[in-house]
Amino acid sequence: MEQFRDYVVRRNSIYAVLLFSTIFISTGKAQNKEFGLGVMLGEPTGFSAKYWLSEDKALDFGLAYSFVKSVSALSVHCDYVHHDFDLIKSKYQVPVYYGFGARLRVGSDENQLGARGVVGIVYIDKEHPFDVFLELAPVFNLFPKTSLQIDLALGARYYFR
C-alpha cells in the first residue's frame, strides 16, 4: 500500500510540474512589465513567476516544496493580485499587493486543495528588470478536510524583455 501511495505522489508531482511549466511557456509578455521568473524562500521554498495583465494587475505563480516535517509536500499556487502604487509614498516603486487564488499541495500523507488570500509588498526596480517581494498568504484548505495554513515567502524575480 505504501508503494502505491508513493507512486501516486510521484505521479501527481510530475503533473504539477508539467502544469506549472505549461503556464510558464504559454504566458509570454504582458505590456511593458513582461514576465518574471525567480525564487522564493520561506514556507514553501521554490520558484516564483509573475505575469502582468495590466499596469496594476498580475497573475502570481509558485512552484515550491514545503520542508515542514508535518507537511512535506510539493506546492503549486496561482493568485490574481492587484498592486496599489499610491499606498506607500516613496521615490522608489514599492506597491502593496493583495489578491486571492488557489493552492494545490501534493504530499506523502494527503493531497490538499485550498483557497489562498495573499498580501505583500514588492520593490520594483525602475532601471533593471527585477523585483524583490515579501508576502503572507493564509490558505484555507478545502479538501480532503478543512484546515488553515500560512504561507510566508521572501523572493526575487528577473523579468525577461
The distance in angstroms from the start CA to the end CA of the chain is 49
pLDDT of 67 over the 50 cut: yes
The mean pLDDT of 118-147, rounded to a whole number, is 94
Amino acid, single-letter form, for residue 56: D
* Cα(116)–Cα(102) distance, integer angstroms: 5
pLDDT of 28 over the 70 cut: no
Q: Which residue has the cell 502505491?
A: 4
Report pTM. 0.78
| pLDDT tens by residue, 87-128 | 998 888 999 999 999 999 998 678 899 999 999 999 999 889
Q: Is-contact 95 121, C-beta < 8 A?
A: yes
Q: Which domains does the chain have, with CATH numbers?
A: 2-20+32-160 (2.40.160.20)
Q: Please classify residue 40 by burial: count the beta carbons closer than 10 Å to its beta carbon, then call 0-12 exposed, 13-18 middle and 19+ buried.
A: buried
